[in-house]
Structure 1
């Protein structure tokens, strides 16, 4: 009788294992839906401290951003912009949003109608990190990032020592493989970087195709990023339980010799637009278009407000899923 019962239990387990295919096990459930006037800004805190990347920027509080017209929301989308009307010798007013919640793994999907244009001096990004004090020990994931006239997205990870990627299983172009911020043979703080395969993935090029959708999957074994321009967004993305295994090759596949549970933990999501600073400011002279406009990045950003009328995010939704 006992042996018979054990056989029945074993058969039941095997049956369940067969029914629950790898595809089914990979599905996700919605945990946070940040959309429009009803919920988007309630998902975030407004960061108002000194810019950790040393940009020529002043981040405003929610009330100040509202009063100056830098944020607004409708039922289906939100606007997050910068000051484009006034000279800004002390830093251009902007907004930096940081999620109230901390995340450890998950699926993050950002639907964009518009992002800051490819303008000299600008440095917009959608990313996540542990905190300034913990950096780089708790890691950084740059999902959308670029500077100046860039029109192709740059995705990267930044970590403490001991994390690298193989550079396989992706559609994008691998730029660097060592995620350590002080890696030998790489530019300081380059991390492991991958350039998008899509020419419509960033700034002005993304806006010209009516935006698109970014998805980042963070698991214990890899961090993957997909991008679809508006006309190519798959219908499967709208499922209540999205399944990345159905999406094909990711733009970026950060997998390899890395303990992701150790190097990435307790992340806040960040959406911001800064100017100049540790990246855009440093490479100003290496961009011929921008270099000819002013003697420095800071001078140009301070004295040419009208250049930033298109430096805004128009966000349809940000959704976070958990397995």
Structure 2
């Protein structure tokens, strides 16, 4: 039977503007970094993506190297588009990136014009699309002039391969320089994707002030610290199917220290007092920043998507909740 999206999918999801642009993002975006590769179950991927779209999630985030194997997440998303979502393409914000190693040799990595343009052409072919809505440079390249990388993004937007340009993992100083260069070129630079959560707070002093000043929207990846800011680790044991037990991602077993677990338990008490789960508190904490347009979640099951959607429908954090969290986090970063 042909998939038909839920009629009430836009009933309760917030859609903040991305910076000072006209682009609005769903407050929850779905990232296809984990669980969407060629080695994962396609029917489960389909169920997760359908659940997301049926509940107002319109922003889907990929990269050329997502898998494993690299490229397979884009291929699977292309299959999902063809089977289910093609009639809804204009209701979706499809994003991809290039900047990490994708193919052997000197032209398959970093930030040269040759790499970025070739990579996006490959990504479009894998997904079966004529364009993406946002194309990101995935990480700064210390050996390629910033002007060349930004000129490549300009070329990509002007050619129609992408509607908007973005960057990811840039610090505040380099973000300001990229904004100045793209402004000079006349390219719509609307978004920065950064790692930001209650346990990783450097963006608050380094990056977020630049985004607010420049009118660039932020999308935060790892807002739940790859599951650490959920109830999965509250018992102190390492779940065998958790991110920390695996070989990919930022979260490693050595990060699950007694001190870190005590912090998480204290945050969980604040969440319970406010009628939230720990994950809902963590998402609200990230979304309190004016420049953050969307939180980018991963999911291994549909229920995780539903939990995140419920979180952004709740009231913002009150002042006393923020103060209580600050008292626990202190200077952690």
Fold shared per TM-score above 0.5: no
Q: If each structure's helix is expressed as a fraction of its own residues, which one has the higher value?
A: 2
Bigger RCO (CA 8 Å, 6+ sep): 1
Q: Which has the higher strand share?
A: 1
Q: Name which one, 1 or 2, has greater alpha-carbon Rg.
A: 1
* TM-score (ref. length: structure 2): 0.25
